[in-house]
């Protein structure tokens, strides 16, 4: 897995250097399968005709690539930065669907001419990944509590304490539940998290 933090830049005191474009593309490749899995779990089924996970992922990747100079490793992990984009894009899309109605035309979030080639090819590769299809089917078998834990811990990468606060349980309970869920999902989850 490529490093997600950069070394300090002496010219800027202790402030870290921004990641290079190549490093950003590598990091995006690492986190993109998790964002796709997250999107399959977050997009309501009644809106899939208007917004699918592939479109959402492509929009997220496009915005990340266009804003890559805004990533500062000193402020948090690349994964949390990426999921910030994913949450914003999903909320924008859901607001548009609420305004325009679920039966409207398919949402187009970004003009196709603005899409970086890397975003398009990566999105297509991920959408065709058989392991993600298996993972999505397994997620459908989970109860709401396990699905929420998978979103927060497995895909968004929140720590046990933050999840415990959000769910109103102890961090020990979160850790035990997460361990059991990882064992149940096995190789599908491991493949998604280490893609």
Cβ within 8 Å of residue 30, ≥6 positions away: 1, 2, 78, 195
For residues 109 and 149, state if they share a domain.
no
- The mean pLDDT value of the chain amounts to 78
Q: Residue 9 pLDDT > 60, yes or no?
A: no
Asked if the structure places residue 157 within a domain, the reply is yes
Encode 161-172: b = buried (16+ Cβ within 10 Å), e = exposed.
Answer: eebbeeeeeeee
pLDDT tens readout for residues 27-66: 888 888 889 889 988 998 888 888 888 888 888 888 888 8
For residues 110 and 149, state if they share a domain.
no
For residues 7 and 103, state if they share a domain.
yes
| pTM over 0.85, yes/no | no
Asked if the structure places residue 135 within a domain, the reply is no
pLDDT tens readout for residues 131-158: 777 777 788 888 889 999 999 998 888 9
User: Which residue range is the domain that position 165 belongs to?
Assistant: 143-195
For residues 59 and 19, state if they share a domain.
yes
Q: Residue 2 pLDDT > 50, yes or no?
A: no
For residues 105 and 166, state if they share a domain.
no
């Amino acid at each position: 897995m490529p490093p997600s933090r950069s070394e300090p830049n002496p010219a800027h005191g202790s402030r870290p250097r921004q990641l290079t474009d190549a490093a950003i593309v590598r990091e995006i490749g690492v986190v993109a399968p998790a964002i796709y899995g997250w999107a399959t779990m977050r997009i309501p089924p009644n809106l899939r005709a208007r917004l699918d996970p592939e479109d959402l992922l492509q929009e997220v990747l496009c915005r990340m690539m266009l804003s890559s100079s805004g990533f500062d490793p000193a402020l948090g992990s690349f994964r949390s930065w990426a999921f910030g984009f994913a949450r914003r894009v999903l909320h924008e899309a859901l607001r548009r669907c609420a305004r325009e109605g679920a039966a409207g035309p398919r949402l187009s979030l970004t003009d196709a001419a603005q899409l970086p080639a890397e975003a398009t090819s990566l999105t297509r590769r991920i959408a065709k990944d058989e392991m993600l299809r298996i993972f999505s089917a397994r997620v459908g078998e989970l109860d709401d509590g396990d699905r929420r834990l998978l979103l927060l811990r497995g895909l968004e990468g929140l720590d046990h304490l933050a999840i415990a606060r959000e769910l109103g349980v102890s961090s020990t309970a979160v850790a035990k539940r997460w361990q059991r869920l990882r064992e149940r999902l096995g190789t599908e989850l491991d493949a998604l998290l280490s893609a």
